[in-house]
Structure 1
């Protein structure tokens, strides 16, 4: 979630380190950028805490914790900034992921790809459905809503074996070479449960 954390230090120098999509979002939402940062850091912190428990699968890169992070992030952004601003920030993040892939850089320990972006966009949309702007649902209540959505299979994760290797929809292991060479590889989205 680089786009979220990057624009945080609230000084102009850091603005210039952002990707084009992130800069555009900040310029279009200057009054919301600081709140978005706070919510983004909160979503990361809560996800990191959940990753250390056995509530979800512990997988922050394509697994249930990753799905949770995106859905919770969007739900909180929707709650405080509105649906449109939240959705466009989520889309800016996914555009940034393509740029990250082209540069060969990692995000959350893996190279971003098309299926990961599809997963994130799906989970973002599900998160937007969990609350409304101005909703007074407490954070703990929202955390449980998102966890329940994950466990009910309403979110998407990427199919992996028990060793963490990415698999095709037919269950074949995907080579590291393919993962690092292709934006559109053979990873498979499955229900989060």
Structure 2
């Protein structure tokens, strides 16, 4: 019992210290709180890697290497794959995967509260996409593998351009499309977790 209480206390302190610039443990979603409690010694490192993934993705978005789409596009796929690969490198596959799943459970709660994630309310198809790309990222490295950030970026970009990841089908104007290529009305998507967006391979032009 004492050991359990100690781990819980350590978890709260770890995540609060790690996120002092942004938010505290008690402002995390329930799924992420649970992850932290079960991974008290990995929480601070996980937060650092999450920041790294966002920064690298933002840099990639400013180039012409991928499609510049961070909400359902190749940059979105890149961010998830990079995040999972780095987490696996430093925390191991199981901890990385469980944090990715916690994030998707958080997205469902975000949908219920109508908060924005990367400029849009998350939905089921986005979650399916993220989980697929998470697994692709996990497959690119093993724990403690000495892969430089540059090499990892190249691996992920190659995986995206070879179609191993998933993105959401859109037209050149950014409108969501059905699998038949029909434009989906934004109004029809409001308030719906399940919708008729379409997942496609991450290399639609090849």
TM value normalised by structure 2: 0.88
The answer for the alignment partner of 1:192 in structure 2 is 202
**Larger relative contact order (Cα-Cα within 8 Å, sequence gap ≥ 6):** 1
- After TM superposition, give the deviation of residue 175 of structure 1 in Å: 1.4
Using the alignment, how far apart are the partners of 1:119 and 1:179 within structure 2? 17
Residues 1:33 and 2:75 are matched in the alignment? no
State the 4+ residue runs in structure 1 displaced beyond 4 angstroms. Answer: 5-8
Residues 1:73 and 2:97 are matched in the alignment? no
Using the alignment, how far apart are the partners of 1:137 and 1:105 within structure 2? 36
Which of 160, 168, 186 is matched with 2:178 structurally?
Answer: 168
**RMSD between aligned residues:** 1.6
Aligned residues: 188
Residues 1:153 and 2:163 are matched in the alignment? yes
Could you tell me whether the CA contact under 8 Å between 1:10 and 1:34 is conserved in 2? no
Using the alignment, how far apart are the partners of 2:35 and 2:78 within structure 1? 23
Using the alignment, how far apart are the partners of 1:147 and 1:41 within structure 2? 19
- After TM superposition, give the deviation of residue 178 of structure 1 in Å: 2.1
Could you tell me whether the CA contact under 8 Å between 1:7 and 1:37 is conserved in 2? no
Could you tell me whether the CA contact under 8 Å between 1:159 and 1:169 is conserved in 2? yes
The 3 A distance-change label for structure 1 pair 133 and 150 is same
The answer for the alignment partner of 1:56 in structure 2 is 66
Q: Deviations along 1:36-71, whole A, 9 cap, x unmatched?
A: 011110010000000000000000000000000000
- After TM superposition, give the deviation of residue 137 of structure 1 in Å: 0.8
Using the alignment, how far apart are the partners of 1:179 and 1:137 within structure 2? 41
Using the alignment, how far apart are the partners of 1:6 and 1:43 within structure 2? 20
Using the alignment, how far apart are the partners of 1:180 and 1:72 within structure 2? 30
